[in-house]
Amino acid sequence: MTPLAISPPRSTPEPDISSIPQDAAMIPNSATPQALTVCIYVNKQANLGPYLDRKKVQQLPEHFGPERPSAALQQAVQACIDCALQQKAVFSLIKQGYGGEMVSVSASFEGKQHLLNLLVVNSIGYVLRFLKKLCRSLLCDNLFSNQPFQQYNAVSESPEVYENRQMEAGRLLDQLGLKI
């Protein structure tokens, strides 16, 4: 048997760029793709409906982002859960995503940590539509926007208004069949 001759691998030589001026050999910053980002503004004067605590909403940042759309969505949804009068109620209103890459939001109730997955999205329109539907479910108006809100001095709720919202949230939980 004769051994097979092994020939050296043939490769394409690297082009010689030594004669090209260094600055011309660099890729300009404008040629690199920029990641799509969104900024979600929080309207702290919004009608918050029966699910969200005004005092907690007042402590939120003025905006989430600029971030990738999925990161801004996650932060805004998590803020709604964190500002809930009853996390279980708000958590139950969030639509979970399936398939693809996910980001998670969490809530604590009934002595346990609960997780929901949201689809990673790259569309600003999707983020805005998702938040609009969530706010409609939360019975709050105009909480989020991709444009800044005119902020006014916050007026604290009177104890009576706060108590009425708590009672309304309890009635809605009963209607949803959820127990506190």
Each residue of 118-134: pLDDT tens digit?
888 888 998 999 999 99
Rounded CA separation 76/80 (Å):
6
pLDDT on residue 9: 47
Task: Please give the pLDDT value at position 31.
Answer: 45
Cα 146 from Cα 42, distance rounded (Å): 9
Question: In sequence order, which residues have a C-beta less than 8 Å from that of residue 137 and are 6 or more positions away?
Answer: 93
From 148, 164, 166, 163, select the one nearest 44 (Cα to Cα).
148
Structure confidence by residue, pLDDT tens digits, 132-166 = 999 999 999 889 999 998 755 444 555 566 556 55
Question: Whole-angstrom Cα distance, residue 113 to residue 169?
Answer: 21
Question: What pLDDT does 103 receive?
Answer: 80
* CA 106 to chain CA centroid, nearest Å: 12
- CA-based nearest residue to 134, from 90, 174, 103, 173: 90
This model's pTM is above 0.85:
no
- Tell me what pLDDT residue 20 has: 43
pLDDT, averaged per 10 consecutive residues of the chain (180 residues), comes to 48 47 41 75 95 97 94 95 96 76 86 89 89 93 89 51 61 58
Phi-psi region of 52 (alpha: psi -120 to 50; beta: other; left: phi over 0): beta
